[in-house]
Structure 1
Amino acid sequence: MKNNEMHILVTVDENYLKPLEVMLYSMYQHHQKHKVVVWLIHEKITEKQLAPLRKLLGKFKWDLEAIKIEDDFFEGAPTVERYPKEMYFRLLCGDILPKDLHRVLYLDPDLLVINSLLPLWQMDLEGSLLAAATHTGVTNITTGLNNLRLNTDHNYYNSGVMLIDLDVARDKINLKDIGETIEKYASLLLLPDQDVLNHLYGHYIKEIPDEIWNYDARKYISYLTRSVGKYDLHWLMENTAILHFCGKPKPWQAKSDTKFTALYLDYARQMDYL
């Protein structure tokens, strides 16, 4: 891994390729002078389906490394059929990505990058498995509920943005533990891979501020209230790096009408003119 390269991990199926393109286009606007390698772990996307993404990244002079996972990768994991296989890929990326790759920044496709990611990419993880943010809101009631549900004693981390130390991941994360956790907590899992991440590995996570690195686009008023008026739109555009469109509807869907929908659609329109 070269020091001047940023390595981005995405795990999507064919239905999320277009949102993925928009996300990566938004990232490119703030990293035009940087070398980026995009690692796409998938199960069944065809080369024909990947062609528009390859073309787009070619315009950026970025590399796309697509890794197709074969069925035998999950041998001995009976629970895998309950959930989309893509949910396992980010948890098990240490076993999938090349051994000479030591860190990767995982990004969900349903987000916009609106400032530089370099401070996050270059962050010292201090031995932690990964860095991630929590979405606690104003009252923080959900943390207590999640602690009861998952038998944890720490904040509940969102898995949509994760800076991962792959060497630590290779040491700590394995499919057997994930499968056993899913079997044990099956009826309590609301967001399976995120719940598993928190239950098994929450103590190894370094917390990063969500208002900068994983801003929940649904909760503008909550952020504004929590900061006593500081985190307004002007502050956000200057300081926030990642806008995350959690929940539904997504900003590319007709029913979406949030404070940030127009910003998303503008990025999508700009990309179409490339």
Structure 2
Amino acid sequence: MATHLHTEAVQQSETLLNTLPHNDESVIHVAFGINHNYARGMGITLFSLLKHHPTTAFHIHIFTDTLADDDIDRLKQLAGNQPLAITLHLFNDSWLEKLPVVGRYPKSIYYRFLIPETVARYSDRVFYLDADTLVVGDYSPLFTLDISHVILCASNDTVRARQNQCPKLGLKQGNYFNSGFMLINIPRWLANDTTQKIIDLLVAQGANFGFPDQDALNILLENDTLILPDKYNFIYDIIANKVWHNFSTPNDTVMIHYTGKCKPWHAWSGGNLSHLYLDYYRLSPWSSLHLDKPRHHKEMKRFARIKFHKKEYAASLFWMINYIKHKFFK
């Protein structure tokens, strides 16, 4: 296998905590790829994962270029009595220079491509989770799933996404999976030089993709992916479901993925699934952090509507005035 720039990208791996039994082969490896803006979201996702698997031994791998001391301290509070290891993998971002910036997506979406080569020293399989997700059920059926015949396991994106992206990308199977949850077969990923193939495709065509990391994965792994039930990555867009939408998820839902621009840690989110997220938020080590306040006029307008729905009329008027000021007078 050729040696590429990205193989040397991880500069330091630091153990933040480790309460795992020695040589326990039942450990489940889970990875996140984040920038500093998503550290809190990752913390809530991890908190919810541990809450629903209280006896499972996890090794958590965090891939980032920086992590604040406060977030490290909060992560250490998650250990409790559960067997848990957390390893921080820090890297320089020189390997990202040639990769495209597309739309609102930061280059941190590409961090996940470093995961297989780094986690290979610990395990032959790893779960990847986006940091805007909430675990609400049991992932254990996947812990021993036979994935020897594929590189990747993932769930399909929405019907609309499949209808749009399959013809655009030339996908023949009718599947277009969401990359916010993946179970990766590491040896098969490495044997196929998958990371370098993704990077090459992104450099050549990524600027034309709507969802760069996800589109590249779907093109390259269309015939090497096992499509899992939607319950493992249930897609929910807060904005698309209006200001105060009561949305029912299927009873067997394992994870809710809050896609779209509005996240449940934004004060201008709303609806019962946002409130569900906040239930976990308030129990977590990140509970002392305030929700993000609106910065742009569209966010201010939505926040005014949220306040109105909550019958906080004075606050609603305040934010509507701010919306008008920022839209028409700035």
| Structure 1 residue 86, shift from structure 2 partner | 2.8
Q: Does residue 39 of the first structure (1) align with residue 61 of the second (2)?
A: yes
Which moves more between the two structures, 102-111 or 186-195? Answer: 186-195
2:227 paired with 1:207: yes
In the other structure, the counterpart of 1:164 is 184
Q: Secondary structure at the match of 1:89?
A: helix
Alpha-carbon deviations, 1:225-246, whole Å to 9, x = none? xxxxxxx84x734x11111111
1:53 and 2:75 matched: yes
Post-superposition Cα deviations, 1:205-258, rounded to whole Å, max 9, x if no partner, equal 100011x10111239x99xxxxxxxxx84x734x11111111121011011113
Equivalent residues of 1:17, 1:53 under 8 A apart: no
CA RMSD of aligned residues (A): 2.7
Structure number with greater CO (CA < 8 Å, separation at least 6) is: 1
Closer/same/farther in 2, CA of residues 202 and 58 from structure 1, 3 Å limit? farther
Tell me whether 1:191 sits opposite 2:217 in the alignment: no
TM-score by length of 2: 0.69
Of 278, 284, 297, the match for 1:265:
278
Q: CA distance change for structure 1 residues 216 and 44 in 2, over 3 Å: closer, same or farther?
A: same
- The structure whose Rg is larger is 2
Q: Deviations over 1:141-186 (max 9, x none)?
A: 5424312322221311100011111111111244442233123323
User: Is the 8 Å Cα contact of residues 100 and 207 (structure 2) preserved in structure 1?
Assistant: no
Q: Which moved more, 1:199-208 or 1:41-50?
A: 41-50
Can you list the C-alpha shifts for 1:49-106, whole angstroms capped at 9, x where unaligned?
423222334564421011112346x2xx752364744322322322222434100111
1:25 aligns with 2:47: yes
Give the secondary-structure state (helix, strand or coil) at the position aligned to 2:199. Answer: helix
Q: Which of 150, 156, 161 lines up with 2:169 in the alignment?
A: 150
- The answer to whether the Cα contact below 8 Å between 1:182 and 1:192 also exists between their aligned partners in 2 is yes
Change (3 A) 1:187 1:205: same
Contact 1:8 1:104 in 2 (8 A): yes
Query: Which among 248, 252, 258 is matched to residue 245 of structure 1?
Result: 258
Q: Does 1:133 align with 2:152?
A: no
Name the structure 2 match of 1:67: 89
SS in 2 for 1:157: coil
- Aligned letter for 2:250? L
Which residue number corresponds to residue 31 of structure 2?
Answer: 9
**How high is the TM-score relative to the length of structure 1?**
0.83
Query: In the TM superposition, what are the counterparts of 1:168-183 in structure 2 within 5 Å?
Result: 168-183=188-203
Q: What is the CA distance between 1:120 and its match in structure 2?
A: 1.8
On the 8 A contact 2:56/2:82 being kept in 1, the answer is no
The verdict on how the C-alpha distance between 1:172 and 1:86 changes in structure 2, with shifts beyond 3 A counting, is farther
CA contact (8 A) 1:251 1:261 kept: yes
Q: CA deviation at 1:13?
A: 1.3
Which stretch of structure 1 is more off in the superposition, 183-192 or 44-53?
44-53
Aligned positions of 1:107-122 closer than 5 A: 107-122=129-144
Aligned to 2:300: none
Range moving further from structure 2, 80-89 or 248-257? 80-89
- Structure 1 runs, 4 residues or longer, greater than 6 Å off: none
- For residues 123-154 of structure 1, the C-alpha deviation after alignment (integer angstroms, 9 at most, x for no partner) is 111411111001233xxx54243123222213
Percent identity between matched residues is: 25
Please state whether the residue corresponding to 2:53 is helix, strand or coil.
coil
